[in-house]
Amino acid sequence: MTATGRSYSEFERRLLSTYFSVVDSPEHADIYLVRNLPQEVAATLNGVYSRSSKSMRDQFLDRLQQGLEAQGRRLEDMPLAAGGDPLSGVMTDKAGQFLKTYAIDHGHNSLREGAVVHLAVEKVSQLVTRFVQRERRCSFEESSTRYISFSAESHWRDPDVAAAGGEIAAAYERVLATTFALYQQASETLLEHLKRERPLQAGEKEGPWLRTLKAEAFDAARYLLTPAIRTKWGMVADARTLSDVISELASHPLAEFRLVGERMRQQAEQALPTLLRHAGESAFQRALRAELPRVLADLGIAPPAPRPGPAEPTTLLLSHDPELDDRLLASLLYEPSGQPFAALMATVKAMTGGQRAALLERLMAQRGRFDPWPLALEGAMPFDFELLVDFGAYRDIGRHRKSLQQMQTMTTAHGFAVPPLLAAAGLADSYAAVLERAAADQQIVAAEFPDAAAYVTPFAFLQRVRIQFDPRQTAYFVELRSGPEGHFSYRQVALEMFAHVREVSPLFARFIRAQEGGAFLGRLESEMTADERRLRRMQAAGDS
């Protein structure tokens, strides 16, 4: 019997067990997994919670029975196995009408969040990938430029550039050909150089050693990739978020973006026919994109003059909370205190520096290696950083989507970064020559097609990026990305962010576990630890 007094027949129990992990309701904390349901049916059942006192199981049975009766069928006509999709033909129309009424017509967008799809997105450029993966409400997993050689991949050719023909199309092709040829050569040359410089030592395992060398070689070689190179990724998103992503893509000036948006919509509509009804081109987004260049021209704001030579990345702190240490301590005290926030701030401000440090030490003393920072440490103004960073590093930094991220139109004007390993392996001259020619060709494309020119802006070129991290996310980013196994470029950004934080908020910085020091041995140790973990799992499986 359920908590509402409903008794299930044996058939109902067996049917419910296909779609819900628990059939018999406990007296308290009735928690169960909802499974094997079409996404819009699941979203509907989630949505009716606010309009009914019944459990989700009872709502499911009621709606299923109504759908069957409308078809002249009985509940016992339903198959008991979860194979195929026996529910859509019975329940989707009713679910679709509910979602149309409340999610579409009345604008209750939270109902769209109850339906989730998993898309595989393959054979798309790095440029459209970075655009989509700014979305902070999705989950993504992408092919790594560190562990996978991109030598077998092809490139996206922008159709508008191809249609223009002439020197513009030729310049586009030259960038792809010359940079990719050197990428393939450098991947092999760098690995052989590292083998000579860091031969396998006694006590080291060959597998982790070789993976470490390959990762380091790819870390440097990837500077020669372009955003036109194809990649693949998985995406998990709810219907509300996916609708926003599709609208952004459909409104973009680049053909590939519109194509990706349309194919996302076509595939997702198979699971979400109702909830993506309004996903499509946004007249506002298109108008805004068209108007902004005219506004910049009216204000006399012009792109920077080209300077396509070697340059150094930079990390600037634009702004921060001047009361950060006090505000974070007050935030930690707030929930159990029962006091106004202003009163807690006054209490903290009255303490000496030593008292504040002792208080934070007391509160953070038990934080273990895998414990996240307390939620209260989001309770201050964010750190506002501006980076001049290579595009490859931004791809990695941008995966920290709990942030505001803005990247300016891609350019070759800020110069390019030079990985030290390329110079050490004797490739510096050929690397610089290829990139300087690529910059000249990129500017030929950009003069007519500024958006499409991003496809032929090699990863090495520095881009201006703005990142806002709240204090909690800043600490997380620094702790994770300063690890010695990380790519040297974003590792440097993490350490520079930490230096800025330490300068303006030394108390908060004391508790950030930044990992300073050499990188190679740390990366090797990380790979060996991974091997040892695999070995332990294999041994445990053998023992069992």
Q: For the segment 225-246, what is each residue's pLDDT rounded down to a tens digit?
A: 999 999 988 888 888 888 889 9
Q: With bands split at pLDDT 50, 70 and 90, how would you rate the model's confidence at 479?
A: very high
Instruction: For residues 356 and 326, give the distance between their C-alpha atoms in angstroms, rounded to a whole number.
Output: 8
Domain contains 43: yes
User: Domain boundary residue among 343, 359, 378?
Assistant: 378
Residue 116: name the closest of 271, 210, 238 by CA.
238
Q: What is the pLDDT of residue 192?
A: 94
Q: Tell me phi and psi for residue 462, to 5 degrees.
A: -75, 140
Q: Over 70: is that where the pLDDT of 111 sits?
A: no
Contact at 8 Å (CB) between 294 and 301?
no
Number of structural domains found in the chain = 2
Residue 338: pLDDT band (50, 70, 90) is very high
Element (H, E) at 237: strand 230-238
Asked whether the predicted pLDDT for residue 102 surpasses 80, the reply is no
Amino acid at 383: F
| Residue 240 resides in a domain | no
Distance CA 275, CA 268 (A): 10
Residue 518 has pLDDT above 80, yes or no: no
Per-residue pLDDT, averaged over 447-459, amounts to: 96
Asked if the structure places residue 93 within a domain, the reply is yes
Considering 114, 130, 158, which residue would you say is the last residue of a domain? 114
**Distance of CA 407 to CAs 128, 214, 310, 320, 353, Å?**
13, 30, 20, 20, 38
Asked whether residue 222 is domain-assigned, the answer is: no
| pLDDT value of position 89 | 62
What's the pLDDT score for residue 107?
46
Q: Is residue 38 part of a domain?
A: yes
Q: Compute the average pLDDT of residues 426-446.
A: 96
Residue 98 pLDDT exceeds 50: no
What is residue 74's predicted lDDT score, i.e. its pLDDT?
84
Q: Please report, for residues 84, 252, 395, 498, the alpha-carbon distance to residue 489 in angstroms, rounded to integers and kept in the order given.
A: 48, 30, 11, 14
Answer whether 32's CB lies under 8 Å from 22's CB. yes
Establish if 143 belongs to a structural domain.
Answer: no
The pLDDT of residue 49: 66
C-alpha span between 133 and 74 (Å, rounded): 46
Using an 8 Å Cβ cutoff, are 121 and 234 in contact? Answer: yes
pLDDT digits (tens, 9 = 90+) for 161-179: 999 999 999 999 999 999 9
Closest by CA position to 118, among listed 294, 280, 4, 270: 270
- Write out the residue range of the structural domain in which residue 340 sits: 321-378
Please give the span between the terminal C-alpha atoms of the chain, in angstroms, as a whole number.
39
Mean pLDDT of 343-350: 97
- At 85, the pLDDT band (50, 70, 90 cuts) reads low
Structure confidence at residue 529 as a pLDDT band (50, 70, 90): low
Which residues are CB-neighbours of 69 under 8 A, at least 6 positions away? none
Give tens-digit pLDDT for 376-410.
999 999 999 999 999 988 988 888 878 889 999 99
- The two three-digit tokens of residue 534, written as one number: 């695999």
Kindly state whether residue 177 falls inside one of the protein's structural domains: no
Rounded to the nearest integer, the mean pLDDT of the chain is 85
- Of 114, 146, 165, which marks where a domain is finished? 114
What confidence tens digit (pLDDT) does each residue in 27-83 have?
Answer: 878 888 878 877 777 777 776 666 677 888 888 888 888 878 877 888 887 777 655
Lowest mean pLDDT among 85-94, 298-307, 328-337, 462-471: 85-94
Does residue 491 fall inside a structural domain?
Answer: no
